[in-house]
């Protein structure tokens, strides 16, 4: 049994990401689970543009006292695993451009994901041969619009329609939705705690786990951090990463206190450790409201 934190190494972890990591650690450790770290670095273009980020993310987590079990896993080392999962699934080639899908009649779901209209689902082999010349094919799984439900610890049942989503992009990159399900299954992760922005992917991922003969994990989607303007916390909000904050003289211990205080687990200025928070942590008491961060308030105590 294990929980995990699985950052993409494309930007430094900000206070919201760090709070999610702390929550994932608390959920795992308070239930006797291992805690794993996984670097989700399949998008090689974005990763190359952000060299050294994975190392900084790991360093920041360690500085907060968020420890982990086993070796840190990198998705870029695990392509054979995704390939063999792909071989077990009913997939078909899709030649649609983003624009063609955007121009199709279907309205986006609430999360902005536009359900695939099925354009390439029933092409003949002759059609495919002709299309392949025009554009490298993505691979989509034949899900056929099934409705799927899984349970979230904070939100209860999460239900959604599963469209024929992409498992491998036209450039050969395995899709997040495939890799995350394969890895959680292969690593024995049975508890997924992550930001609320990913809640809408639950039906897709739980369905895919089921298709691969895996037991879907339990989910907890935790609140995002937002800036004073209510938008998702970002660089424009000021000092929001450990590096920014260190530049202002804020220590990792003080960052941890800020995170714990935002969860009602510490008093402002109190010295805490992650392990010291375990007795205070009650998942049932977690708020679902976003955490409003006023960056210049995160100060040395």
User: How do beta strands 138-141 and 166-168 pair?
Assistant: antiparallel
Taking CB under 5 A as the rule, does residue 162 contact Zn ion?
no
Q: What is the DSSP string of 154-205?
A: TTEEEEEEE---EEE-TTSPBPHHHHHHHHHHHTTEEEEEEEGGGGGGHHHH
Judge contact between 295 and 240, C-beta under 8 A. Answer: yes
Q: Return the one option of ligand GLU, Zn ion, none that residue 120 interacts with (CB less than 5 to 8 A, by type).
A: Zn ion
Taking CB under 6 A as the rule, does residue 178 contact ligand GLU?
no
Number of residues engaging ligand GLU in binding (CB under 6 A): 7
Which of 17, 56, 57 minimizes the C-alpha distance to 233?
Answer: 17
Judge contact between 153 and 23, C-beta under 8 A. Answer: no
Taking CB under 6 A as the rule, does residue 8 contact ligand GLU?
yes
Which two three-digit tokens encode residue 295? 């960056």
Taking CB under 6 A as the rule, does residue 194 contact ligand GLU?
yes
Taking CB under 6 A as the rule, does residue 179 contact ligand GLU?
no
Q: Which is nearer to ligand GLU, 57 or 257 (CB)?
A: 57
Taking CB under 5 A as the rule, does residue 137 contact Zn ion?
no
Taking CB under 6 A as the rule, does residue 7 contact ligand GLU?
yes
Task: Provide the 10 A C-beta neighbour count for residue 155.
Answer: 14
Dist. CA 17–CA 194, nearest whole Å = 9
Choose which of 47, 58, 91, 180 interacts with ligand GLU (CB under 6 A).
180
Decide: residue 262, CB within 10 A, 0-12 exposed, 13-18 middle, 19+ buried: buried
Contacting range for ligand GLU; rule: CB under 6 A; set: 5-13, 111-119, 209-217, 219-227: 5-13
> Shortest approach of ligand GLU to residue 35 CB, angstroms?
13
Choose which of 28, 96, 242, 245 interacts with Zn ion (CB under 5 A).
96
Q: Which is nearer to Zn ion, 46 or 128 (CB)?
A: 128
Which of 12, 37, 46 minimizes the C-alpha distance to 242?
Answer: 12
Span 39-78, contacts to ligand GLU by CB under 6 A: 40
Q: Which is nearer to ligand GLU, 222 or 293 (CB)?
A: 222
Contacting range for Zn ion; rule: CB under 5 A; set: 28-36, 93-101, 195-203, 257-265: 93-101
Taking CB under 6 A as the rule, does residue 225 contact ligand GLU?
no
Judge contact between 34 and 2, C-beta under 8 A. Answer: yes
Dist. CA 161–CA 110, nearest whole Å = 12
> Shortest approach of ligand GLU to residue 26 CB, angstroms?
16
Chain residues binding Zn ion by CB under 5 A are: 94, 96, 119-120
Chain residues binding ligand GLU by CB under 6 A are: 6-8, 40, 180, 194, 198
């Amino acid at each position: 049994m294990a929980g995990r934190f699985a950052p993409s190494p494309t930007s430094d972890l900000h206070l919201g990401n760090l709070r999610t990591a702390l929550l994932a650690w608390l959920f795992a450790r308070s239930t006797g689970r291992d805690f794993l770290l996984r670097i989700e670095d399949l998008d090689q273009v974005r990763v190359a543009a952000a060299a050294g980020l994975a190392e900084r993310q790991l360093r920041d987590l360690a500085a907060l006292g968020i420890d982990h079990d086993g070796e840190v896993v990198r998705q870029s080392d695990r392509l054979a695993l995704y390939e063999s999962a792909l071989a077990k699934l009913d997939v078909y080639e899709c030649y649609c451009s983003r624009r063609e899908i955007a121009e199709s009649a279907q309205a986006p779901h609430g999360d902005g994901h536009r359900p695939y209209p099925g354009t390439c689902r029933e092409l003949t082999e002759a059609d495919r041969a002709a299309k392949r010349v025009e554009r490298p094919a993505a691979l989509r799984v034949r899900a056929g619009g099934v409705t799927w439900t899984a349970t979230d610890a904070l939100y209860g049942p999460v239900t959604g329609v599963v469209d024929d989503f992409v498992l491998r992009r036209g450039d050969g990159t395995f899709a997040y939705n495939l890799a995350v399900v394969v890895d959680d299954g292969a690593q024995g992760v049975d508890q997924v705690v992550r930001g609320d922005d990913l809640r809408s992917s639950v039906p897709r991922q739980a369905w895919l786990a089921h298709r691969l003969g895996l037991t879907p994990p339990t989910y907890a989607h935790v609140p995002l951090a937002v800036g004073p303007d209510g938008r998702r916390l970002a660089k424009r909000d000021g000092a929001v990463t450990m590096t920014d904050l260190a530049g202002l003289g804020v220590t990792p211990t003080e960052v941890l206190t800020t995170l714990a205080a935002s969860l009602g687990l510490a008093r402002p200025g109190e010295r805490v450790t992650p392990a010291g928070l375990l007795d205070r942590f009650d998942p049932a008491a977690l708020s679902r409201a976003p955490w409003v961060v006023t960056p210049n308030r995160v100060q040395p105590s």
